[in-house]
Chains A and B, each alone.
Chain A
C-alpha cells in the first residue's frame, strides 16, 4: 500500500512539474489600495476561480496595511499593478510618479462625510472649527478640496481605519466610504436617521474612484500580462456580480485569514454598493474607460489644492490595455 502510494505521488509530481514548465506562468503582484474586503472581490474571484492561471499569469495579491499605502508598494517595486482612487493617482503624477491608468473600474464617487445628528452638524458650514476624521493613508484630496472650495476651516484628524473615535465623540465628522465605514457606523448601532450624510458627489465632486495603475515602464514592458490581468479580473467581477453569496463567503474567509474584522452582512452591503458604483448606464463611457471630463476635474482639484500649475496630458495618463466597448 505504502509503495503504491509513493509511486502514485511520484508520478503526480512528475506530471505537475512537466505541466508547470510547459505553461511558464508570468508573475505579477497586485496590491489593492486597502485591506482585504469586498471592494476587491472581483480580483479574489479571478484568483479563486483560476482565471489568472488560465490567462497564463501567476498573480500574488498583497495587501497594504492601514498605515502603508499601495502607492508605496508600487514605487518601491513591490507591486506591478495597484488600484488607486483617480484623485490619488493624479496627485501621485503631480508628485512625479509616472503612473498610467490601464483600466477605470469605478464610475461614481462613494466618498462622503457623516456626522451624528446629535452633534447639531447639519450643513457643510457647521464643519467650521470642528474635528474631521480622515484616513491617514490617503484619499483626503477630494474632502479637503470640497471644504477649501467652501472656505471652511476644520481640524483634520488622521485615523488609521476604525470608526471608534467618531462613535466615542472624539471627532465630530468622519470621512467615510458609502460602501464601507458608513455601514460600519450603522452596524455599531447608530440608525440611518440618526446620521447626517454629505456625499461629495452632491457637491459637484462625483469623481470616479477605483482604477488600475502601473508605472509607465511596466505598461510598456508587460503589455500582454497587463491585458491578460485586466481581462481575467473583469471575468472575476462578472462572476462576483452573478454569485454574490459565494463571493461574500470567499471575501470573509480571506479577511479572517488576514485577521481583519469581517462579517457577511457588512461585506454583502459593500459588494452591492461597489457594484453599483461601476454602473455606466447613465454615463457616456465604455466599460473600463476613464472619462476625459472626470480626469480634467481631478487635475483641477489637485491644481487648486496644491496651488500647482501641473499639466497632465489625458492620453498619456489613460492607457487602456483592453479595447473599449460597452
Chain B
C-alpha cells in the first residue's frame, strides 16, 4: 500500500502525470493523422465504389438508350410496315432483359384509320411479354412527361421516376427519343420511341453493393427525386430537398443543389438527432441522374476506434504495470530511509549505539549511511565532551555561589548596624548583575566618634572584580585603622592598589568620615558618582566633589578632601552607576534626573524606605529587562538630636 504522502507516491504521481500527458499527446496526433488517412482512403474507396455503381448503371443504361435511338432512326426510314411494329417491340424486349417495356407513340391522327391516339406498348409481366394499344381520354399520352417534354425540346429525354398508371403499372423511368417522318418534303415530328426501366429492379442492382454495415448507395434524378433507394417507398416520392425540409437539414439542400449543378464532392454531414455520415456524390455521364454513396461516420472510423480502444486499454494496463513496478523499485530503494529515520529518532533519544540499516549499494544511500555513522560518532564524542564541560561548569558555578556568599559576608548586611549609635540610621543594598560583582560598600566606626563609610565600583565584573573589591575592602579596613583623614586613607589605598596592579584594574571610590558629635562630614572622591544630599528641608542636591581619578591607576596621586556640615535629619544617598544607568529594552537609561526626582517623591523618608522607593522605580523603568551592572545603594541619616539625649 502506497501512503498518500510517501516519496514513492509523489514520484509515481509525477511520472504518471507526465507519461499520461505524453500518451494523450501522442494518441491525439496519432488519431488525427490516422483519421485523415482513413478519410482519404475512404474517399478513394467511395469514389471507386460510386464509380463501380455508375459503371454498372451505365452498362445497363447506355445500351438501353441505343435501342430507341435505332428504333427512331428506323421509323424515320419508314422500313417497317404498320403491322410489324408490335413484333419489333416484342423482339426488343425478348433480346434485352434489362428493359421493362418499350413503346412507339404517335402524334394525333398519325394513322388516319387509328384515330387521335395510337400507341403500341409491350412490357414484361412476370415471365411473359404483354402487348397493348394505348391512348384515349384516360391515357392521354401527349401530355405525359415522357412524351411532351422530348417532343417540345426535340431531344432524347430520361424521365423523372413515375408510376405508369394504366400501362406498365410499376415505378419506372422512361427514355424517350423523338422520331420524324418525311411528309411533303418536310421532316415532321411523328412520335416517340421509348424504353422503360423498372426502378425497383434498378434499386436491387444498386443495393448489391455493400458499404460497411449500414452504408448505402442511392440515385437521384435531375430534380433531386429518389430514383433508387434502399427504402423503396422513397422512390419517386421523396426528393433530397423534401428530405432536407423534413429533417430540418439545410446541408442536404446544399448537397442537392451541388448535384444539380453537376458537381461531385466528398463531405461529412451532421444532422441534429441523427448519426453523423459521410457522403460522396457524382453525376452519371449518360444522363443527369447522380449516384451518392453514404457512410455512417461510426462505421467509417470503426477500425480507428477499435485501434484506439485497444491502444488505450494497452496504455492503461502498461501504466498500471509501470506503477506497480516503479513503486516496488522506489520502495526497495527508499526503504533504508525509513530505517534511517527510526535510527535518527533512537539517536535523538540518546541511544548513540543504534544499529544503522545495512546499505550494500555504492550510491547516495551509501553516502547517507556514511554521513549518519559519522554523525553518530561525532554526537557520541560531543556528548562526552559536553558531559565533561557541564561537570566543570557546575563546579565553577558552585564555586561562584560560594564566592558570592563570601563576598556578601564581607560587606555589612545587618540593619540597623549600630543599635548603640543613635546618631546614625543606615540602610544599604547590593544587587549583583552576575553571581559575583565588583560593587562594594562598607561602614564602620573609628574611635567611637567618627563614622566612616565608603562606596565603590570596580572596573569589570565577575570574579576578578569581586577579588579586587575584596582587596579594596580589606585594605580600607586596615588603612583606616591608622589614618583618620579621608584623603590620606584614599591616597594609601590608591598606593596599595596601584602597586603590582598587573591587570590594570581600578575602582571608583567615595569615602566619607562623619563626626558624630559635630555633624561635619569630610570626604574624598576617586572618580565615583557624587552622592546625593537630602536635607531635612527636603532639599535634594548632589555633592560637590573635586575631580579625581579612580583608585589603582597611579601610585602617587593626591586626592583632595572636601567637607560638609550635616544637620539633624539630613540624609546622604550614595550609589553606584548601576542605579542611574539602569537600562530598559529600548536602551533608555534611568538617569540622574529621574533618580533625584524619585528621591524627592519618596514619602516619609528614612534610609530603608528611600532605597525601596528607588528599587521600585528602577524595576518599573527596566520592566524586567536583564540587569547589566551591579546596583548598590546606601543611605545614611544623621540624627544630631541623639547627641543631646
On A, residues with C-beta under 8 Å from B are 65-68, 136, 157-160, 162, 164-165, 167-168, 170-171, 186-189, 191, 256, 259-266
Contacts and interface: CB of A to CB of B under 8 A. Distances in A.
B143 A189 contact: no
A165 B148 contact: yes
Nearest to B154: A170
Contacts of B442: none
B407 interface: no
Given A67-B137, A256-B233, A265-B246, A164 B241 contact: no
Most buried by A among B143, B239, B245, B257: B143
Given A136-B143, A165-B145, A266 B137 contact: no
Nearest to A269: B245
A164 B163 contact: no
A191 B254 CA distance: 10
17 contacts: A65-B138, A136-B143, A157-B152, A159-B148, A160-B143, A160-B148, A162-B145, A165-B152, A187-B224, A187-B239, A188-B239, A261-B225, A263-B239, A263-B242, A263-B246, A265-B243, A266-B242
Contacts of A68: 137-138
A257 to B, nearest CB: 11
B128 interface: no
Interface string B194-233: 0000000000000000000000000000111100000001
A159 B160 CA distance: 15
Contacts of B237: 256, 261-263
B144 interface: yes
B223 A188 contact: yes
Contacts of A158: 143
Nearest to B241: A187
B327 interface: no
A170 B148 CA distance: 9
Contact of B242 (A67, A170, A187): A187
A233 B49 CA distance: 53
Interface of B: 137-140, 143-145, 148-149, 152-153, 159-160, 162-163, 165, 222-225, 233, 236-243, 245-246, 253, 256-257, 260
Given A136-B140, A189-B223, A189-B224, 7 more contacts: A162-B145, A165-B148, A187-B245, A189-B240, A191-B257, A261-B162, A265-B245
Nearest to B147: A160
Contacts of B143: 66-67, 136, 158-160
Nearest to B139: A67
Instruction: Give the 7 A-B CB pairs with smallest separation, nearest first.
Output: A259-B163, A67-B140, A160-B143, A188-B223, A265-B242, A265-B245, A265-B246
Contacts of B242: 187, 263-266
Contacts of A162: 145, 160
B248 to A, nearest CB: 10
B257 A189 contact: yes
B144 A186 contact: no
Contacts of B165: 65, 259
Contacts of B222: 167
A260 B165 CA distance: 9
A186 B242 CA distance: 9
A149 B152 CA distance: 28
A188 B224 contact: yes
B361 to A, nearest CB: 80
A200 B225 CA distance: 30
B138 A67 contact: yes
Nearest to A185: B223
A199 B220 CA distance: 31
Nearest to B247: A265
Most buried by B among A171, A261, A264: A261
B239 A170 contact: no
A7 B224 CA distance: 55
A264 B238 CA distance: 9
Nearest to B235: A261
Nearest to B170: A259
Contacts of B163: 259-261
A153 to B, nearest CB: 19
A188 B149 contact: no
Nearest to B258: A189
Nearest to A252: B237
